[in-house]
Structures are given as structure tokens and as C-alpha cells.
Structure 1
Amino acid sequence: MDQRYVWRRKNKAYEEKNTLPTVKHGGGSIMLWGCFASAGTGKLQRVQGTMNSLQYQEILDDNVMQSVTNLRLGRRWTFQQDNDPKHTSKSTKAWLQIKDWNILEWPSQSPDLNPIENLWWDLKKAVAVRKPKNVTELEAFAHDEWAKIPVDRCKTLVSSYASCLKAVITVKGCCTKARVRRKQF
């Protein structure tokens, strides 16, 4: 069974600000791939179907270097991804080795350390406010809102990342105030 966790204050589960309704009367949801740096948000792409290693590599090929260029990162950037199987497959590892990108090693069993999760939460809230009526609107609103994420938000997530990792190491993987604070709600 899939376990999911949410952060909220006690006895506040059903307040409107703590719930995100699904797209109604047309239904559906979309999966997105996105990237960001301290300079701002990079490209955002809709994932068609179920992503596998080859599709992941195509998405990276189509988006990462263009985002690096658009954000004017030069050679001073590090690629970070979690340990999802499509990210760590033999073919993806070989593909990344050919690209010769500087890659941040990712600790196992730590999906909530990924700073982009904070941006996904911001994006979900912003899109929900616009109340998309169908999947087409949902995707359009997602792209609009992604572009509006402030550079300062991205800078904060990147600059707080090292202290967050140190805090997790200090408590040997248990919950930290830093991890809770980053889940801003």
C-alpha cells in the first residue's frame, strides 16, 4: 500500500487551505518534470504516460541544458535527482556519465529532502486557486504559475539545502525542525 504523509496543524485537516480538490467534470491529473536553481525556475515539461528510463533521459536531454543556458548558470551548476529507479537505472547512469554533468550523490530513503518538493507544493496551491476545469487548463495554469515562482524562493531553497542535510545527519535521519519548516504551509 502506498503511504503518503502531509504536514498540517492538529485539528486543521479539513480547513479549506489544507485541502486541494481534484479537477472535476473532465477529471484527470498530469505528471510534470521541472528543474530550478538559485537563479530561478527552469523548464517545466508534461510527462506523457508512465515515465521510464528512456523517457527520463529524453526529458533531461530536452530540458536541462536549455534551462542551464536560460538561467545563465555557465559551468557552475550541479545536477540533483532522487533515487527513483528510472534515475538510477544502468541506462540512465551510463547516459549521465556521457553527459559529464556534476551530479550530487543522493542519500537513500530521503525523498523529503528534495528541495523541488517545496516548489511542487507551491505550484499545487497556486494552480488550485485558479480552479482549472480540465486537464488542458491544468497544464496551462501549471506553466503560468511555474514561471511566477519568485527567484528569492528558489534562492532560499538552494541556500538552506546544506544546513538541512547537516541537520538530518545530526539526528541520524529522524525528523528535524529544518525539514518541517521547509514544508511551509
Structure 2
Amino acid sequence: MKGRFTLSTCDRRDRVWRRRGERSAACNILQHDRFGSGSVMVWGGISFKWGTALHVLARGSLTAIRYRDEILRPLVRPYAGAVGPGFLLMQDNARPHVAGVCQQFLQDEGIDAMDWPALFPRPESN
């Protein structure tokens, strides 16, 4: 599991639903600083019985090398060993997850990863 937490209310993703003629109504105006927002990326592993410590990733993008060196090697490998046979890693198709260097690491360590479909089937409408 990975996530992104915004450190301020302004992450440029605010949405406002308003009625016609309410564009400038005080209740639809959100003040924010102009110094930019911040965020922190975290990763944590969970399963039926256990979980890993929450790992805070330092500044910068999560590359395949960082994913292998900061997540897979120090966190996933020992976690998989603690869970034992039948451990199956579930991750999405983010570029670092599917990069060759990470896939090779998982294969070398004998860690199976669940196939994650590019698109989930949509439920039938009745």
C-alpha cells in the first residue's frame, strides 16, 4: 500500500459544486497560501494477520531503484519470510513496480507477485 498525504489544503485538486449564480459566494471561496503545498509519500504492507512499519519516502520521485532498495529489499523481503509459504505480493502497475529491475529482484528472492490487470471489468448494468 502506498499513499500520498497533502500537508496543506491546497494541492490543486479542490473541487467545488455550486448552483447557478453562486460562483463568488463566500461559502465557495477557499483561501490558501501561495507558497505551494507539500506532500509526503508513504508505503506500508498489510495482510490478514500482520503489517509492516509505515515507511516514509524521502523527497523525490519513486524510481524502480528506490522501490527495490527502500521498499522491496528492506521491507517486503523480510515480511515475506515472516509470513512464510504462500506469501503473494499485491501491487499495482505503477512504473517502479513493473520495472525489470524490480521484477528481477522478486524473481531472485522467490517472491510471487499477483498479476494486476490494466483495466478491471465493469459491472453489468441492469
Aligned partners of 2:77 and 2:99: how far apart in 1?
A: 21
What is the TM-score when the length of structure 2 is the normalising length?
0.60
RMSD, aligned CA: 2.6
- State the Cα distance separating 1:93 from its structure 2 match: 1.5
2:102 alignment partner AA: T
- State the Cα distance separating 1:60 from its structure 2 match: 1.0
Of residues 97, 108, 112, the one that matches 1:98 is 108
Unaligned runs of 5+ in 1: 5-21, 111-172, 177-185
- Structure 2 counterpart SS, 1:98: helix
Which residue of the partner structure matches residue 38 of structure 2? 28
Structure showing the higher strand proportion among its residues = 2
- State the Cα distance separating 1:52 from its structure 2 match: 0.2
The question of whether the paired residues in 2 share the 8 Å contact of 1:42 and 1:68 is answered with no
Aligned partners of 1:26 and 1:108: how far apart in 2?
A: 33
Q: Kindly indicate whether residue 4 of structure 2 is the aligned counterpart of residue 56 of structure 1.
A: no
Amino-acid identity (%): 24
Structure showing the higher helix proportion among its residues = 1
Question: Size of the alignment, in residue pairs?
Answer: 89
Greater RCO (CA < 8 Å, at least 6 residues apart): 1
- State the Cα distance separating 1:56 from its structure 2 match: 0.3
- 1:35-59 alpha-carbon deviations (Å, 9 max, x no partner): 1110132221111221100000012
Aligned partners of 2:109 and 2:61: how far apart in 1?
A: 24
- 1:64-115 alpha-carbon deviations (Å, 9 max, x no partner): 133345xx422231111111111111221112111111221111135xxxxx
